[in-house]
Amino acid sequence: MRRTLLGILALVFLMTAGGIFLRGLAHESTLALSVCLRMGLVLGAMWLAYEQVHEIIRRTPPWVMGGAALGLLVVVVRPRAIIAVGPLLVSAAALYGLGKFLKPVQRSKKKNSPSRPPEDRSD
């Protein structure tokens, strides 16, 4: 359902951009054309990669996603902060991956099979 909605919205934005372009590029319509074209392309890319993105989100812990979102927000607000935020995000991702790689293997506990009761040897 969500993937279908993404595809429909991408088509609507791209068709709107096409309509604006065919109608003529007036100075007032360039912003609308740019927004519709970019939104259509981004939603189309999300539609194509929906399964992979969903799998990545399912496997990644919420604190990692939250840290990445916060770092991206800081970079969007203050672009020069990428000098500090970029290496922090890369090192956090590397440490998370290394920790996942070096995590000790959890062995399943063997269930004790019910042993036979000792035989009564009354001689």
Summarize pLDDT for 65-113 with one digit per residue, the tens.
Answer: 888 888 888 888 888 888 988 888 888 888 888 887 887 777 766 665 5
b/e 35-57 (16+ beta carbons within 10 angstroms → b): ebbebbeebbebbeeeeeeeeee
Which range is least confidently modeled, 22-26, 89-93, 114-118? Answer: 114-118
Quote the CA–CA distance of 74 and 66 in Å, as a whole number: 12
Q: Is residue 108 a part of any domain in this protein?
A: no
Residues 29 and 9 in one domain: yes
Quote the CA–CA distance of 50 and 10 in Å, as a whole number: 13
Residue 119 has pLDDT above 70, yes or no: no
Residues 7 and 48 in one domain: yes
Give the domain extent around 70: 60-103
User: Using the 8-state DSSP alphabet, how is residue 120 labeled?
Assistant: -
Residue 121 has pLDDT above 70, yes or no: no
Quote the CA–CA distance of 116 and 119 in Å, as a whole number: 8
In the prediction, which pLDDT does 92 show? 85
Q: How confident is the model at residue 41 (pLDDT cuts 50, 70, 90)?
A: very high
Q: Compute the radius of gyration of the chain from its Cα atoms.
A: 27
Q: Is residue 28 a part of any domain in this protein?
A: yes
**pTM of this structure:** 0.53
